[in-house]
Amino acid sequence: MRSVTPGTVVFVGIVVAGLAGFVLALRAWFKTGQSMGLPVWRKLLFSLGFLAVAGQVVLFALSWTRIGVDHGLFAAWARFVYPSFFVAVVLVLAGKGSARWWLLTSSCLLFVLCFFIMLTP
pLDDT in tens, 8-19: 888 888 889 989
Helices and strands in the chain, H and E counts: 5, 0
Instruction: Specify the amino acid at residue 34.
Output: Q
For residue 33, what pLDDT is reported?
59
Measured at the CA of 46, the angle between CA 44 and CA 52, to 5 degrees, comes to 110
Mean pLDDT within 88-116: 89
Mean pLDDT within 69-92: 87
% of residues, the chain, pLDDT over 90: 26
Mean pLDDT within 85-96: 90
For residue 115, what pLDDT is reported?
85
pLDDT bracket for residue 81 (50, 70, 90): confident
